[in-house]
Structure 1
Amino acid sequence: MALFCERLKLLRKERGLKQREMAEQLGLALSSYQCYEYAQRFPDFHGLIAIADFFDVSLDYLVGRSDVRERR
């Protein structure tokens, strides 16, 4: 799931958000969010949905199963 951390970082930067701001949006501690971007830890199912909803992308795109961002 290395692609997840890469996509997460890309999406965050596209929005012009800092890691701290992203952590706040998701209700996480900064260190918890950083673990996602550094592939040290991964969100649970509900966390993945929250991230996909925040960025308005499909779960398949978020986790690297598709290059299509749009939700269907």
Structure 2
Amino acid sequence: MEGLSVKLKELRVEKGMSQSEVSRAIGLTRCAYTNYEKGIREPSLTVFKKICIVLGVSADYLLGITDAP
């Protein structure tokens, strides 16, 4: 999910959040979250859901199914 990593970073920056803030909000270490933004790892479904809630977007948007958050 290469597009996921790009969208995660774009959305985080748009929200004015640091990687540490997002990682704390979803209950992970900053390093673990950074790996998602770098495309090194992909989040579990549970973490993916939390990311959608924190960033205020739909799963469809993050997955590239729709163009609108």
Q: Same fold (TM over 0.5)?
A: yes
The runs of 4+ residues in structure 1 deviating greater than 3 Å are none
Distance across 2 between alignment mates of 1:28 and 1:16: 19
Higher relative contact order (CA 8 A, sep 6+): 2
- Please provide the CA RMSD for this pair: 1.0
TM-score normalised by the chain length of structure 2? 0.91
Distance across 2 between alignment mates of 1:52 and 1:28: 15
The structure whose residues are more often helix, as a share, is 2
Q: Which runs of 5+ in 1 are unaligned?
A: none
Alignment size in residue pairs: 69
Quick one: percent identity of the two aligned structures? 35
TM-score normalised by the chain length of structure 1? 0.87
Q: Which runs of 5+ in 2 are unaligned?
A: none
Q: Does 1:60 align with 2:42?
A: no
Task: Give, in angstroms, the shift of residue 36 of structure 1.
Answer: 0.3
Distance across 2 between alignment mates of 1:54 and 1:21: 10
Distance across 1 between alignment mates of 2:21 and 2:11: 13
